[in-house]
Amino acid sequence: MSDSEILDAAARLRDGELALKGFPAVAISPRFAKDDLRKGLPTWGLHFGSLAQTEILARAFEISRDDQWLNLALQNTLGFIKHERSVWLPDGFLWNDHAISGRISVLIKLWRLYRTHPDYENNTAQLLVEHILRCRQLLAKDSHFTFNTNHGVMQNVSLLQIAAAFPGLPDEERYRKLAIERLERQLGFYISPEGVVLEHSAEYHALGIDLLGMATNLLPMLDLSVPQHWTKLHRQAKGFLDVIRLPDDSLPMFGNTNSTPDFPPEHRSHQNDAHSTCPGRQGMHLYPVAGYAVTWSCEYHSTQSVLALSQFVGHGHKHADELSLLTWARNSRWLTNVGYWPYGVPGDEQAYGWNGSNAPHWPDETTTGEREPRLLSSGNLPGISFIEARRNGQGGSEFRRQVLQIGDGWWIVLDFAQGPTNQEAEVLWTFFPGISLAQQGDGSYLASQGANEIRVDFASNAGINHRLLIADRSPWRGWVVKDRQPTPAPSVLAHFPAGSMLVSSFRLADRGKSDSVELVFQANQSPDSWELAIQVEGVRKMKIARNAEGRIDLTEIEQFIDRSLLLTPAPDVRAERAAIRAAYSGLAADFPRYREVSTYRFKVTKILLAVFVGQILLFTLLSIYRRQQHTLLWLCGISVWISGGIAIHLWYFP
């Protein structure tokens, strides 16, 4: 937030309204009230539990040097601290690992501003430092350590922040050592050897860069040397970010990623001229361990294509999106996934399913169960590129996707589904909101935005059904999160039989100048050997074939042009992936996941009490009319309660 936005937010906070950027304003008490912890959506509650209100007020004081903001920040924070000390059970995000980590830097900032202020008082200072000690204890607690996601990395970084900002605290060395040891072990699975943060998300990759950057900056403050492999991973992670980052600083929307740039000003690239910056990224960039392939084409217009197939069980923010394709061209998003659905908004569970991406899948396929996607082969020459990947499905089924890109605006996608012969596979091609999508008379589609349009055509070596849809709720599909708001998005749903192939063609052109495309399969098709005849506007005739020797041949018949692309098998990354799983399993064994279920237990207790009271009333009435069964009824009731108690103790409470 800019200085003017901070000052405006502080004034609104003083008047009883917390306005966080990207969220609806929420009425709260400017001096803290415990009821405020449970207001708003979960993400808003996370910010509140991270003391966002204190940070706004502290920054307002830094900007204006007006004591009213520092005094209000202290009153708000002290109210928060006193409530935290008084409660016995979780309240909102009061003890959430992420929220505690987030509030450390805020408390440090508040302490820095207050410790030299003329109104400094020992009692207030003592409360602040005692809360820091309390937070440090929770951050270090084994059962509170969320080892498997960025939350755990945050916890360790926050412990290092405390050590740097408050030298001389009791047990300083022990907590500092603990943070470094845990972080070292986390880096074995948090970031791939290629430098990709393994949280299935472009936005969380950017966050990982910030967190690792904080760690490498904090160690010298503590007179400690930075391990060389930390520095290397940080450098590689920034390299991957440069490859996926779009000219407006936004990111391709795989995983939990917002559509708008989320970088602070100091991290912005400000590269608005897409075409002048494209040549530095020209070509295909493969990350087979992490599971990504990124292609930049820079001939006449700049285009980016991302094939996402990352899948690491237990890591954070995973969507069912393996083999999904995201495209950006002529300064616009075209094909996309759903993005970062807000927590607590209806549809948040479905957004993580297969209909939140354009990956091929079975209509009834669940998101549970292990899946093992992998890159198979690739090839790249100026003006033509090819990438192929595979993932296993349920019941021994298999999907393969091959993406052929011609020039900087024509994608030909071949999907293969292998499984029970009575099944149909489906692909949901979703376009970014704001694009108009209309069906043409011949069964093709036209996606238009601004001065550009994409012609969409299909073919199959068996039956195929396709139709236009937008924003269905049952089943859920046709949605994209734009500017943090779930937004209807135009989509084409295509079905094709198991054992067959689907070809989807997306050809970009100037508005009003797109040509019709006719796709025809030739005989004897398989994933490793196929032939496709293409006719553009009845004039341009092409033949594209893949042969069993691993080569793509493209022939433009009318112009007698032949091009061949030799495919390179993907490297064997089983050892690297096994090392990642081993590092994850090691921490999982040492830090069993803590489940906060007190809220659910209260609900269950209320239900059980209601059932118990109802049972007594029922048995009392029955005993009046059926005295001979009175004892038997009570014995049965007692047996059921004892059995239920044992079951809850053995399977629920652990």
pLDDT of residue 272: 52
Report the distance separating Cα 119 and Cα 347, nearest Å. Answer: 50
Within this chain, do residues 552 and 451 fall inside the same structural domain, yes or no? yes
Within this chain, do residues 490 and 624 fall inside the same structural domain, yes or no? no
Domain closes at, from 513, 543, 578: 578
Instruction: Output the DSSP codes for 260-323.
Output: S----GGG------HHHHGGGG-EEEEETTTTEEEEEE-SSS-EEEEEE----TT-SS--S-TT
Domain that holds residue 614: 597-652
Integer angstrom CA distances of residue 248 from 101, 183, 235, 273, 450 = 30, 32, 22, 9, 17
pLDDT of residue 627: 65
pLDDT of residue 595: 64
Report the distance separating Cα 202 and Cα 215, nearest Å. Answer: 20
39 CB-near residues (< 8 Å, 6+ apart): 26, 27, 28, 45, 48
Q: Shortest CA distance to 209 belongs to which of 249, 236, 180?
A: 236
pLDDT of residue 623: 72
Within this chain, do residues 354 and 476 fall inside the same structural domain, yes or no? yes
DSSP 142: G
pLDDT in tens, 585-618: 999 999 987 666 666 777 778 888 888 888 778 7
Whether residue 45 is contained in a domain is answered as: yes
pLDDT in tens, 331-354: 999 999 999 999 888 898 999 999
Within this chain, do residues 566 and 601 fall inside the same structural domain, yes or no? no
Q: Which residues pair with 486 in a beta bridge?
A: 481
Domain closes at, from 108, 140, 172: 140
Within this chain, do residues 372 and 459 fall inside the same structural domain, yes or no? yes
Whether residue 552 is contained in a domain is answered as: yes
- Ranking 100-114, 208-222, 616-630 by mean pLDDT, the lowest is 616-630
Report the distance separating Cα 490 and Cα 485, nearest Å. Answer: 16
- Collapsing DSSP to helix, strand or coil, 559 comes out as coil
- Binned at pLDDT 50, 70 and 90, residue 274 comes out as low
Q: Shortest CA distance to 532 belongs to which of 470, 589, 467, 458?
A: 458
| Cβ count near 507 (within 10 Å) | 22
pLDDT in tens, 370-395: 788 999 999 999 889 999 999 987 77
Q: Which residues pair with 542 in a beta bridge?
A: 534, 556
Positive or negative, the Cα torsion across 156, 159, 161, 167? negative
pLDDT of residue 442: 74
202, 255 contact by CB (below 8 A): yes
Number of folded domains that form the chain: 3
pLDDT at 236 over 90: yes
Report percent pLDDT > 70 for the chain: 94
pLDDT in tens, 404-447: 999 889 999 999 999 877 889 999 999 999 999 999 877 799 99
Within this chain, do residues 601 and 629 fall inside the same structural domain, yes or no? yes
pLDDT at 297 over 80: yes
Within this chain, do residues 532 and 614 fall inside the same structural domain, yes or no? no
Whether residue 213 is contained in a domain is answered as: no
Within this chain, do residues 94 and 32 fall inside the same structural domain, yes or no? yes
Within this chain, do residues 353 and 449 fall inside the same structural domain, yes or no? yes
Pair of tokens at residue 108: 């440090």
Report the distance separating Cα 242 and Cα 240, nearest Å. Answer: 5
- Ranking 133-142, 305-314, 465-474 by mean pLDDT, the lowest is 465-474
- Ranking 16-25, 319-328, 430-439, 452-461 by mean pLDDT, the lowest is 16-25
Whether residue 563 is contained in a domain is answered as: yes
Domain closes at, from 578, 606, 629: 578
What does the mean pLDDT of the chain come to? Answer: 90
- Binned at pLDDT 50, 70 and 90, residue 123 comes out as very high
Task: Please give the distance of CA 139 from its chain centroid, rounded to a whole number.
Answer: 24
Whether residue 299 is contained in a domain is answered as: no
pLDDT in tens, 470-516: 999 889 999 999 998 999 999 999 999 998 899 999 999 998 888 88
Whether residue 87 is contained in a domain is answered as: yes
Specify the CATH number for the domain of residue 474: 2.70.98.70
Within this chain, do residues 613 and 507 fall inside the same structural domain, yes or no? no
Whether residue 309 is contained in a domain is answered as: no
Cis amide linkage into residue 475, ω under 30° from 0: yes
- Binned at pLDDT 50, 70 and 90, residue 620 comes out as confident
pLDDT at 95 over 70: yes
Within this chain, do residues 435 and 513 fall inside the same structural domain, yes or no? yes
Q: Shortest CA distance to 107 belongs to which of 79, 135, 87, 82?
A: 135
230, 236 contact by CB (below 8 A): no
3-state secondary structure 482-495: ECCEEEECEEEEEE
pLDDT of residue 170: 92
Whether residue 283 is contained in a domain is answered as: no
Within this chain, do residues 647 and 546 fall inside the same structural domain, yes or no? no
504, 429 contact by CB (below 8 A): yes
3-state secondary structure 280-295: HHCEEEEECCCCEEEE
